[in-house]
């Protein structure tokens, strides 16, 4: 419905401009309105006839089509290069109460994987494993933030680290599939 209204408005605007130009032409040439309207309509039809009957050689048409195709290809590629998918900003998330950060890397087979996968503190600093700090001693290694000087009180080991990485890789794969299906 909106498209039809736009088309009708464009047609009415064109008709209004034609009538307005006829009125202005009639005032300038000091002729009556209908004569001016006929002259302008005749000029418009002659212009359209000249455009439609202009003779092109085949090579000229092919060159124009090739140039237009090349321009469209450049525009399409430029849009694809500038478009950054949402899943590329997925670089941090929580698993089992621990925050992780990583970088998303695309390999030569056009597959994505997580690189620099690491647990981080709420302050953004990377966490390390420690048994003790000052007078606080734990029986197992715990995550420790060197900036905040605090232990993260979650059970953490390399098995949980690998589970978290697998969890986020699967989540990333789903985001990529969603993105590809939406295009």
* pLDDT at 82 exceeding the cut of 70: no
For the chain, the average pLDDT equals 81
Report pLDDT for 69: 92
Whole-angstrom Cα distance, residue 149 to residue 164? 24
Q: How confident is the model at residue 84 (pLDDT cuts 50, 70, 90)?
A: confident
Q: How confident is the model at residue 140 (pLDDT cuts 50, 70, 90)?
A: confident
Report pLDDT for 2: 64
* pLDDT at 1 exceeding the cut of 60: no
Average pLDDT over residues 4-30: 79
* pLDDT at 138 exceeding the cut of 70: no
Q: How confident is the model at residue 115 (pLDDT cuts 50, 70, 90)?
A: confident
Q: How confident is the model at residue 83 (pLDDT cuts 50, 70, 90)?
A: low
Report pLDDT for 22: 78
Average pLDDT over residues 130-158: 77
Whole-angstrom Cα distance, residue 86 to residue 171? 13
Report pLDDT for 80: 60
Higher pLDDT among residues 78 and 71, named by residue: 71
- The residue assigned the tokens 């698993």 is 95
CB 65 within 8 A of CB 48: no
Report pLDDT for 183: 66
DSSP readout, 52-105?
A: HH----HHHHHHHHHHHHHHHHHHHHHHHHHPPPGGGG--EEEETTEEEEEEEE
Whole-angstrom Cα distance, residue 31 to residue 103? 76
Taken as a whole, the chain contains a residue count of 183
b/e 89-128 (16+ beta carbons within 10 angstroms → b): ebeeeebeebbbebebeeeeeeebebeebebbbeeeeebe
């Amino acid at each position: 419905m909106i498209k039809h209204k736009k088309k009708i408005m464009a047609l009415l605007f064109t008709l209004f401009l034609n009538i307005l130009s006829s009125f202005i032409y009639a005032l300038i040439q000091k002729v009556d309105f209908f004569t001016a309207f006929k002259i302008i309509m005749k000029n418009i039809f002659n212009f359209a006839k000249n455009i439609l009957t202009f003779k092109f050689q085949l090579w000229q048409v092919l060159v124009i089509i090739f140039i237009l195709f090349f321009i469209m290809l450049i525009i399409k590629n430029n849009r694809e290069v500038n478009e950054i998918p949402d899943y590329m900003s997925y670089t941090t998330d929580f698993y089992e109460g621990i925050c992780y950060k990583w970088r998303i890397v695309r390999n030569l087979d056009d597959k994505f994987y997580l690189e620099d996968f690491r647990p981080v503190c709420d302050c953004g600093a990377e966490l390390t494993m420690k048994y003790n700090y000052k007078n606080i001693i734990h029986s197992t290694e715990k995550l420790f933030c060197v900036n905040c000087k605090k232990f993260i009180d979650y059970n953490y080991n390399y098995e949980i680290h690998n589970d978290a990485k697998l969890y986020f890789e699967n989540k990333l794969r789903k985001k990529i599939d969603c993105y590809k299906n939406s295009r």
